[in-house]
Amino acid sequence: MRKANLIVICTSLLLLAGCGSGSKPFNGIYSMTTPYDPAAAQYINGLGTGSISGRTYQANLFTGAGASVQLVPVTPYSTEYMGHLFGTSKAYYTPTTIDNVNPQFKRDQRRSKADQNGRYTFSGVPPGEYFVYAQLVENRTGVAMYERVTIANGQKVQIDLTGS
């Protein structure tokens, strides 16, 4: 009985930490546990000379035209947020609801929209570590995908979001 309880507790802790062995995101409603620290994300509001550009698409499924693309500073809060959206995958098709999201978190991001070829650009990016996150929707179905990137001042980074 003790061993069974220990297994259940350990499995629960792994799932909550986003370290589960499955590749699916948390399925259901998740409540954020990490407090939002606006100071940790402030570097996104600075001036920089870097740029991040690329394409958004899902091979044979979505062209990426008109995709919503966000540039999210990597912080403990955003790491927890992305971990529960995506689990261990780089893309997901099943929406996950995250409860009690701090409204400042959404303000501390940059947004872009992909053109008709799925191309997007963020310019004037300050040095730092970011999640580049895209949502593609076609024919009332969709996919979300991300990549994690570190950029130095003046660096030009090419990131294609393909979900693989």
List, for residues 60-69, the tens digit of each pLDDT value.
777 888 889 9
Rounded distance between C-alpha atoms, residue 95 and residue 146, angstroms: 14
List, for residues 68-118, the tens digit of each pLDDT value.
999 999 999 999 999 888 887 887 766 667 888 999 999 999 999 999 999
Asked if 128 contacts 149 with a C-beta cutoff of 8 angstroms, the reply is no
Q: Between the ranges 23-32, 86-95, 117-126, where is the mean pLDDT highest?
A: 117-126
DSSP H/E element including 39: helix 38-41
Quickly name the fold that domain 2-158 has.
Immunoglobulin-like (2.60.40)
Asked if 65 contacts 118 with a C-beta cutoff of 8 angstroms, the reply is yes
Mean pLDDT over the full length of the chain: 81
Look at residue 2 and tell me whether its pLDDT is greater than 50.
Answer: no
